[in-house]
Amino acid sequence: MKLWKMNGAGNAFAVFDARDRKFTPTTEQLREIAKTMQADQIMAIEADLRADAFLRIWNADGGEVKACGNGTRAVAHLLLEEAGTDEVKIQTEADLLKGSRAENGLVSVDMGSPLMGWEDIPLSEKMDVRGVDVKIGPMDNPILSLPAVVSMGNPHAVFFVDDVDAYDIPAIGPLIEWHPVFPEGVNVGFAQIIDDETIRLRVWERGAGLTKACGTGACAALVCASRAKKTGRKVRMILDGGDLIIHWDETTDHVIMTGPVELEQTLEV
């Protein structure tokens, strides 16, 4: 079986080609693969009659998830190169996504429409998704509170902060990841608005920890920022591993993510 080690803006992946066989690793095996390959996510490309491929996704802790934006872009790059086409369709548990070539060797993925109902996230009870009742620190003077939430096929909570580097994210992230408000856990974004077209973002990923980039997290941060009138609908997202361009198209309501993909290694296993 072919195995690719890849990254999208620093978000690291181990991608298995399982189109001609069953690939059913145990949780322990997935965790070992993530550790050995230094991968944030493990993914399997499977055959699918509805699309060019089906993409199965696991986080580094071995838990299966429905969506991974940068991972979908990485697999789109593989399929685009393999087929020699300008667009491919990738079925995920979250949605049917379209990957395409962009300028300067970049790859875009249409991530579909954001889900903004409280039950879509999901939350444990009905709340205003523009500011969920979550606080970190003293109740009368929290260091973080009222994150905006949205689903991009997976749940995201976004805190808007003045200085993203002023927070101990490895200490704070786990407190929010499995907060009772989020029955399925949540990805936690720390977003610093630079200007109307630029956001500095760091993300504590559910099941993976602090990563160099998170594609769905970048999409979620833009949606939450634009919804709150903090930015426009298209921004440059500055992540620890590189930049992504996120565009929430007003006509289609779809979020388009564009960024770099790097193929680091190809192996036979």
For residue range 233-255, what is the model confidence (pLDDT) as tens digits?
A: 999 999 999 999 999 999 999 99
Whether 169 has a pLDDT exceeding 90, the answer reads: yes
User: Structurally, how many domains does the chain consist of?
Assistant: 2
Mark whether 91 and 167 lie in a shared domain: no
Is position 122 within any domain? Answer: no
How many other C-beta atoms are found inside a 10 Å radius of the C-beta of residue 111? 28
Determine contact, residues 227/85, Cβ cutoff 8 Å. Answer: no
Distance CA 2, CA 267 (A): 6
Cα→Cα distances 78→6, 72, 114, 199, 228, Å? 10, 10, 26, 29, 36
Q: pLDDT per residue over 22-34, tens digit each?
A: 999 999 999 999 9
Whether 202 has a pLDDT exceeding 90, the answer reads: yes
Mark whether 249 and 139 lie in a shared domain: yes
Q: Which of 6, 68, 111, 144 is catalytic?
A: 68
Tell me what pLDDT residue 125 has.
97
Note if 68 is an active site residue: yes
Mark whether 95 and 151 lie in a shared domain: no
CATH at 28 = 3.10.310.10
pLDDT band of residue 207 (cuts 50, 70, 90) is very high
Mark whether 153 and 195 lie in a shared domain: yes
High-pLDDT (> 90) share of the chain, %: 97
Is position 125 within any domain? Answer: no
Mark whether 81 and 143 lie in a shared domain: no
Whether 140 has a pLDDT exceeding 90, the answer reads: no
- Give every CB contact of residue 140 below 8 A, 6+ residues apart in sequence: none
Mark whether 168 and 105 lie in a shared domain: no
Determine contact, residues 107/258, Cβ cutoff 8 Å. Answer: yes
Hunting for tokens 């940068």 — which residue is that?
70
Residue among 132, 124, 170, 136 nearest 150 (CA): 132
Q: Which of 42, 188, 203, 214 is catalytic?
A: 214
Whether 57 has a pLDDT exceeding 90, the answer reads: yes
Q: Share the mean pLDDT of the chain.
A: 96
High-pLDDT (> 70) share of the chain, %: 100
pLDDT band of residue 139 (cuts 50, 70, 90) is confident
Whether 163 has a pLDDT exceeding 90, the answer reads: yes
Mean pLDDT of 182-199: 98
Note down the domain range covering 51: 2-112+259-268
Mean pLDDT of 172-200: 97
pTM above 0.85, yes or no: yes
Is position 59 within any domain? Answer: yes
Mark whether 84 and 167 lie in a shared domain: no
Mean pLDDT of 176-195: 97
Question: Rounded to the nearest 5°, which phi and psi values hold at 215?
Answer: -65, -50
Mark whether 234 and 264 lie in a shared domain: no
Is position 126 within any domain? Answer: no
3-class secondary-structure state, position 48: coil
Mark whether 240 and 149 lie in a shared domain: yes
Mark whether 142 and 58 lie in a shared domain: no
Mean pLDDT of 174-198: 97
Is position 124 within any domain? Answer: no
Mark whether 139 and 98 lie in a shared domain: no
Mean pLDDT of 209-220: 96
- Give every CB contact of residue 104 below 8 A, 6+ residues apart in sequence: none
pLDDT band of residue 136 (cuts 50, 70, 90) is very high
Whether 68 has a pLDDT exceeding 90, the answer reads: yes
How many other C-beta atoms are found inside a 10 Å radius of the C-beta of residue 26? 9
Note if 224 is an active site residue: no
